[in-house]
């Protein structure tokens, strides 16, 4: 089925349990779903027809470049006549493949090539060909990433391109990546590259109602981003994990409307027994002779320590939430409980859909103690530090006096004197032209167990963290002496030295008035607490939250 065509299709599924309910939607369910879609459109999540067409054009041009590139590489390794018959193929994955991409979002793509085209060919010669495309703004190769990738921007659309070579003499244009035999005689990095597309296709095969699935997933992703729990790299859930949870909800309620799916999503996972993994299908059909490691806590000791396992459906099955820590688990569950309370009020007609998507402006009110990471604004260095913050959180959690270490996924930019900060809408902030005078800041809120931890010495944790990221930067051959990462422990009052005056004063007023509920649970069973709207307006003005 064409998801973007808006058709409603019930696909065959192979979930691990029978559906809880096969009831279809009634009139009020459909009305609630229409209201939900209207709310999501007010956030600008849906792109225009013109932008959709522009994406298709970019993918078409990218495909032309891939075919030309494969033939040119082949010509160096075989007779020219044979090389002209060689081909590659482009697949999409991620939000674009699922049909839930937002306006301005990037496109995740996979280039599949025949056996004689090497990964080194991809990184050595493909970027140059990309750069020759008209309206190509930049091309960046990231060889050291967990899944090596080339990033580019064409006609204003960002595209991530990963590579996989298969043990095939040529790539047929009807190639189906769900064929497990394609995984024979390939390496681990190739499997990782292939699995983005394989997982997306499996999800679409396993959800029974794509239209409702897509709308519910858009809502969940917006909610998670607004509540600050959308970041795999920081130990929260990433897009794949939230997608798998919504897909599992669809399997349990195969005919439900999007609004009902959303309500059941929160009801289901607010009380999920996380000793049990979330699975979309059983693994009995997989071929163990392929030899890749799959998620199996009975055989793999490391898997037994995963706190909230959500397993990808495609072989080799992996846990998409391996970064989750004790703290992020607590925060995610609290937000699921909050979301469940609010959506019940929405369905009852007590509050509007907007209530679910209110952003969390209360981070600096929740905690009395903080750790500030001050990082020099080099893009590669910033990305490295951000990718390791979860390790610092895990170090902090080892102290028995620390109940919670909550990293704010939004980073701040400011001068070295910390007098002018602007909250960015993206997790990693791009430095401005005067980057030499700037610093990037991440904040970690610390909650101690009652009567403990006030005098705990965290110096060793800070030093080992800084040394670790420095060593990784050096091993990646990009570290420079001017790349710095400082860590400081501050109390709430000392935030005045880091936050803009107007932000701090607003927080101070809110904190003293106790307008915001403890740990972000601002809602009662009936309605939001009075006075929160005025505070929200103030915070949006001073934070400039997008």
Q: Is 106 assigned a catalytic role?
A: yes
- pLDDT tens digits for range 174-220: 999 999 899 999 999 999 999 999 999 999 999 999 999 999 999 99
| Residue 108 among the catalytic residues | yes
Name the nearest CA neighbour of 65 among 137, 126, 123: 126
Active site residue 189: no
pLDDT in the model for residue 476 = 84
CA distances from 404 to 15, 370, 388, 401, 447 (A): 35, 11, 18, 9, 5
Q: Does residue 361 carry a pLDDT above 70?
A: yes
- C-alpha angle with apex 400: 507 to 296, nearest 5 degrees? 105
Statement: residue 12 has pLDDT above 60: no
Confidence of residue 143 (pLDDT cuts 50, 70, 90): confident
- Cα radius of gyration (the chain): 24
Could you give phi then psi for residue 486, rounded to 5 degrees?
-110, 145
Pick the CATH number of 18-43+207-342 from 3.30.70.270, 3.30.43.10, 1.10.1410.10, 3.40.50.1470: 1.10.1410.10
Is the pLDDT confidence value at 264 over 80?
yes
Residues contacting 340, CB < 8 A, separation 6+: 263, 266, 267, 270
Rounded distance between C-alpha atoms, residue 88 and residue 112, angstroms:
6
**pLDDT (average), residues 258-271:** 98
Pairing between strand 107-113 and 157-165? parallel
Cα–Cα–Cα angle for 350, 356, 357, nearest 5°? 140
Write down the pLDDT at residue 499: 74
The pLDDT, as a whole number, for residue 113 is 98
Cα–Cα distance, 238 to 231 (Å, whole number): 5
> Looking at residues 321-345, what average pLDDT do you find?
98
Residue 412's pLDDT is what? 83
Q: How far apart are CA 524 and CA 114, in angstroms?
A: 59
Band (451; pLDDT cuts 50, 70, 90) = confident
pLDDT of residue 535: 44
> Which of helix, strand or coil describes residue 143?
coil
Q: Can you tell me the mean pLDDT for 153-168?
A: 97
Q: Given a cut of 90, is residue 539 above it in pLDDT?
A: no
Q: pLDDT category, 8, cuts 50, 70, 90?
A: very low
Which residue out of 106, 189, 505, 529 is catalytically annotated? 106
Residue 452: is its pLDDT beyond 90? no
Question: For the range 45-52, what are the long-range contacts, defined as Cβ-Cβ under 8 Å and sequence gap of 24 or more?
Answer: 45/102, 45/103, 45/218, 45/222, 46/102, 46/103, 47/101, 47/102, 47/103, 47/104, 48/103, 51/103, 52/4
Q: Is the pLDDT of residue 160 over 50?
A: yes
- Looking at the chain, the number of H-run helices and the number of E-run strands are 15, 11
Sequence ranges of the binding site for Mg(2+): 106, 108, 160
Per-residue pLDDT, 415: 56
Phi-psi region of 439 (alpha: psi -120 to 50; beta: other; left: phi over 0): beta
Give SS3 for 134.
coil
Compute the mean pLDDT over every residue in the chain, rounded to the nearest whole number.
Answer: 87
Spatial distance between the Cα atoms of 459 and 324, rounded to a whole number of angstroms: 24
**What are the φ/ψ torsions at residue 230 (nearest 5 degrees)?**
-120, 85
From the candidates 33, 74, 95, 320, give the one annotated as an active-site residue.
95
340 catalytic? Reply is no
pLDDT of the residue at 468: 96
**Distance in angstroms (rounded) separating the CA atoms of residues 210 and 283:** 23
b/e map 118-128, b = 16+ CB within 10 Å: ebebbbeebbe
Which of 29, 121, 160, 202 is an active site residue? Answer: 160
- In the structure, what pLDDT confidence band is assigned to residue 144 with cuts at 50, 70 and 90? confident
Identify the residue with better confidence: 379 or 518: 379
Instruction: Please tell me the predicted confidence (pLDDT) of residue 371.
Output: 97
- The reply to whether domains 18-43+207-342 and 49-200 share a CATH topology is no
Q: Spell out the residues 6+ positions from residue 413 whose beta carbon is closer than 8 angstroms to its own.
A: 377, 421, 422, 424, 429, 431, 432, 438, 439, 440, 441
* Cα–Cα distance, 322 to 307 (Å, whole number): 8
Q: Count the Cβ atoms, other than its own, within 10 Å of residue 246.
A: 27
Helix axes 210-226, 258-269, angle to 10 degrees: 50
- The answer to whether the CB of 201 falls within 8 A of the CB of 250 is no
The question of whether 221 is a catalytic residue gets the answer yes
Do 28 and 232 contact (CB within 8 A), yes or no?
A: no
Percent of residues, the chain, with pLDDT higher than 90: 73
Please compute the mean of the pLDDT values over residues 312-317 and round it to a whole number: 94
Q: Which of 33, 74, 225, 230 is catalytic?
A: 230
Chain CA centroid to CA 505, Å: 32
Q: How many residues does the chain have?
A: 546
Binding residues for ATP: 93-95, 102, 106-108, 160, 221, 230
Decide which of 543 and 66 is more confident: 66
- CATH node for 363-543: 3.30.70.590
Q: Out of 29, 108, 121, 201, pick the active-site residue.
A: 108
In this prediction, residues 230-255 reach a mean pLDDT of: 97
**Strand pairing partners for 444?**
371, 407
Residue 135 reports pLDDT greater than 80? yes
Q: What is the DSSP string of 358-387?
A: -----HHHH-SEEEEEEE---HHHHHHHHH
Q: Measuring CA to CA, how many Å separate 244 from each of 59, 90, 194, 251, 501?
A: 26, 24, 18, 11, 42
Residue 486 bears catalytic tag:
no
> What is the pLDDT at residue 514?
56
Q: Is the pLDDT of residue 325 over 90?
A: yes
The answer to whether residue 426 scores a pLDDT higher than 50 is no
Range 49-200: architecture per CATH: 2-Layer Sandwich (3.30)
pLDDT at residue 51 greater than cutoff 60: yes
Nearest to 448 by CA among 385, 379, 402, 398: 402
Mean pLDDT of 225-253: 97
Nearest Cα neighbor of 514 from 492, 497, 493, 529 is: 529
Domain extents in the chain: 18-43+207-342, 49-200, 363-543
pTM: 0.87
Asked whether residue 433 carries a pLDDT value surpassing 70, the answer given is no
Decide if pLDDT at 457 tops 50. yes
């Amino acid at each position: 089925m064409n998801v973007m065509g808006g058709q409603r299709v019930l696909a065959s599924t192979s979930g691990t349990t029978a559906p809880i309910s096969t009831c279809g939607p009634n009139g009020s369910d459909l009305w609630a779903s229409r209201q939900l879609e209207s709310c999501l459109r007010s956030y600008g999540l849906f792109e225009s027809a013109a932008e959709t067409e522009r994406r298709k054009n970019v993918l078409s041009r990218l495909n032309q470049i891939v075919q030309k590139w494969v033939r040119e590489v082949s010509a160096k390794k075989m007779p020219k006549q044979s090389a002209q018959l060689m081909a590659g193929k482009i697949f999409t994955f991620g939000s674009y493949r699922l049909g839930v991409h937002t306006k301005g979002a990037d496109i995740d793509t996979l280039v599949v090539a025949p056996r004689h085209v090497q990964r080194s060919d991809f990184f050595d010669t493909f970027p140059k060909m990309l750069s020759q495309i008209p309206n190509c703004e930049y091309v960046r190769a990231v060889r050291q990433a967990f899944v090596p990738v080339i990033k580019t921007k064409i006609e204003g659309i960002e595209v991530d391109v990963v590579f996989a070579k298969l043990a095939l003499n040529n790539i047929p244009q009807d190639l189906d990546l769900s064929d497990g035999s394609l995984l024979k005689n390939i390496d681990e990095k190739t499997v990782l590259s292939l699995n983005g597309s394989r997982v997306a296709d499996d999800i679409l095969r396993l959800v029974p109602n794509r239209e409702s699935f897509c709308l519910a997933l858009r809502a969940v992703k917006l909610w998670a981003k607004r509540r600050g729990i959308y970041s795999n790299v920081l130990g929260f859930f990433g897009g794949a994990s939230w997608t798998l949870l919504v897909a599992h909800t669809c399997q349990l309620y195969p005919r439900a409307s999007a609004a009902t799916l959303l309500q059941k999503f929160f009801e289901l996972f607010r009380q999920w027994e996380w000793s049990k993994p979330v699975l979309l299908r059983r693994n009995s059909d997989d071929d163990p002779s392929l030899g890749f490691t799959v998620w199996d806590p009975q055989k793999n000791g490391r898997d037994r320590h995963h706190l909230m396992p959500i397993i990808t459906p495609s072989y080799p099955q992996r846990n998409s939430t391996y970064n989750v820590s004790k703290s992020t688990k607590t925060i995610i569950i609290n937000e699921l409980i909050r979301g469940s309370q609010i959506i019940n009020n929405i369905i009852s007609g007590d509050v509007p859909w907007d209530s679910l998507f209110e952003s969390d402006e209360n981070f600096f009110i929740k905690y009395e103690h903080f750790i500030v990471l001050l990082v020099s604004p080099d893009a590669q260095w910033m990305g490295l530090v951000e990718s390791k913050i979860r390790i610092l959180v895990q170090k902090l959690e080892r102290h028995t006096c620390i109940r919670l270490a909550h990293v704010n996924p939004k980073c701040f930019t400011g001068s070295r004197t910390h007098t002018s900060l602007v909250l960015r809408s993206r997790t990693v902030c791009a430095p401005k032209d005067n980057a030499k005078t700037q610093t990037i800041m991440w904040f970690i809120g610390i909650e101690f167990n009652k009567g403990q931890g006030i005098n705990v010495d965290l110096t060793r944790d800070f030093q080992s963290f800084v040394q670790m990221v420095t060593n990784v930067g050096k091993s990646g051959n990009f570290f420079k002496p001017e790349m710095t990462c400082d860590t400081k422990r501050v109390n709430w009052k000392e935030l005045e030295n880091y936050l803009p005056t107007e932000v701090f004063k607003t927080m101070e007023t809110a904190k003293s008035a106790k307008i915001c509920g403890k740990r972000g649970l601002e809602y009662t069973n009936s309605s939001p607490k009075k006075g929160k709207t005025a505070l929200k307006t103030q915070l949006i003005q001073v934070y400039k939250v997008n």
